[in-house]
Amino acid sequence: MTFAALIALLVGMCMLLIRALIGPTMYDRVLAVNSFGTKTVLVLGLLGYVMGRPDFLDIAILYTLINFVSTIAILKFFRYRSFQVPLVRKTDAPARGGDRNG
Amino acid sequence: MTEVMIGGTGTALINILFLAILFVVALAIARLRSLFAIVMLSGVYSLVSAAWYILVDAVDVGFTEAAVGAGMSTAVLLGAMLLTARTAKPEKPLKRIGPFIVCLVTGVMLIYGSIDLPALGDATSPANAGVGLTYLQINWFDTGVPNVVTSVLASYRGFDTLGETAVVFTAGLAVALLLGFGERSLAETLRKQPKAAPRPAASNTDGGAA
């Protein structure tokens, strides 16, 4: 059962990979990479139980944190071209990263 | 029951699948011209290789790969990308032969070198039979850390790890200063802004940011 779930997750990873490869816009790719990271975390968690070592769950949680932070960093970078801008929308926001189709 | 199933062929199957994903991603990185897609795919490559390291029980390497490869280097590559063009120029086919031969020779040499390596988990291999066995025996009484690799990295070789961390931190600081993540790139954006304003309105993917 766990093994079947693992195979299903791996198939889902392959599909996300296809989206990341052919994704027409930047946001397709960002979303695909973010979901790919989530799938990796799930695979790691399942692998821990399949291999009889649930300690892997800690590592999976660490991966979740890294994945979240890096996705936020990517999106913020493309919105503002900088990491030094607070994440609040200002009415007279001067910097607009208008770049969309990498 | 599951563990019997996963034992031989299952692990091999998952290994092969991870390596196949890595191969496809590497091929795509070599073929693509859009730099943003390449940066994203390198993040995917790091994540998959980190997961694979954990699958083959190299947990500390997987940790490092996830933190540095998927987290830090994606941001650094993005910062470098903003200072240059958006797409790579296509090379002439004749110019590709040299790098291809170098890669091929390096790969063949690596495969040739890996023939001599002991099998994974081999109890008689030098890493497991010599000092590794001693660490396994005395680690718990010396440090009380359940993971032997962690105890070696953070306790037996604690000063070494501290020095490594300082080196990596300095390198990251130097890269951040060179790329100018903060005020410099922001100033550049602000300087370019009046010119970019009268561009044709192709902002259907902008998500209502106006």
Query: Tens of pLDDT along B79-134?
Result: 777 777 777 777 777 788 888 899 999 999 999 998 888 877 777 887 777 888 88
Q: Are A95 and B190 in contact (CB under 8 A)?
A: yes
Which pLDDT score, from 0 to 100, does residue B113 have? 92
Most B CBs within 10 A among A11, A26, A29, hence the mutation to make, goes to: A29
Of the candidates B2, B188, B189, which has its C-beta nearest A3's C-beta? B2
By residue count, chain B amounts to: 210
- Confidence check: pLDDT of B72 > 70: yes
Which pLDDT score, from 0 to 100, does residue A84 have? 59
> B179 at the A interface (CB within 8 A)?
no
Using a CB-CB cut-off of 8 Å, the residues of chain A touching B58 are none
Using a CB-CB cut-off of 8 Å, the residues of chain B touching A36 are 44, 47
Which pLDDT score, from 0 to 100, does residue B109 have? 95
- Confidence check: pLDDT of B208 > 60: no
Query: Tens of pLDDT along B12-54?
Result: 888 888 899 899 999 888 888 888 888 888 888 988 898 888 8
Put simply, the answer to whether B75 touches A98 (Cβ < 8 Å) is: no
- All domains in chain B, ordered by first residue: 8-90 (1.20.120.1200), 130-196 (no CATH)
- In angstroms, the CA A13 to CA A15 distance is 5
Using a CB-CB cut-off of 8 Å, the residues of chain A touching B43 are 33, 37, 70
Distance from CA of B112 to the nearest CA of A (A): 30
> B186 at the A interface (CB within 8 A)?
yes
> A18 at the B interface (CB within 8 A)?
no
> A31 at the B interface (CB within 8 A)?
no
Q: What is the mean pLDDT of chain B?
A: 77
Distances (CA, A) of B82 to B107, B194, B199: 32, 18, 19
- Confidence check: pLDDT of B201 > 50: no
Query: Tens of pLDDT along B125-135?
Result: 877 778 888 88
> B68 at the A interface (CB within 8 A)?
no
Banded pLDDT at B59 (limits 50, 70, 90):
confident
- Confidence check: pLDDT of B177 > 60: yes
Higher pLDDT, B198 or B46: B46
Higher pLDDT, B7 or B110: B110
> B15 at the A interface (CB within 8 A)?
no
CA of residue A86 relative to chain centroid, distance: 22
Put simply, the answer to whether B37 touches A102 (Cβ < 8 Å) is: yes
Put simply, the answer to whether B66 touches A36 (Cβ < 8 Å) is: no
Q: Which of residues 28-67 of B touch A (CB under 8 A)?
A: 28, 34-37, 40-41, 43-44, 47-48, 50-51, 54-55, 59, 62-63, 66-67
Which pLDDT score, from 0 to 100, does residue A99 have? 46
- Confidence check: pLDDT of B176 > 90: no
Nearest to A79 by CA among A65, A68, A90: A90
Written as one string, the DSSP assignment of chain B is -HHHHIIIIIHHHHHHHHHHHHHHHHHHHHH--BHHHHHHHHHHHHHHHHHHHHHTT-HHHHHHIIIIIIIIHHHHHHHHHHTS-SBPPPPPGGGGHHHHHHHHHHHHHHHHHHTTSPPTT-TTSHHHHSHHHHHHHHHHHHT--S-HHHHIIIIITHHHHHHHHHHHHHHHHHHHHHHTTTHHHHHHHHHHHHHHTTS----TTS-S--
Q: Are A4 and A48 in contact (CB under 8 A)?
A: no
Which pLDDT score, from 0 to 100, does residue B190 have? 60
Per-residue pLDDT of chain A (102 residues; tens, 9 = 90+): 777 888 888 889 888 888 888 878 878 888 888 888 888 888 888 888 877 777 778 888 888 888 888 888 788 777 776 555 555 555 555 555 444 444
Of the candidates A1, A10, A21, which has its C-beta nearest B28's C-beta? A21
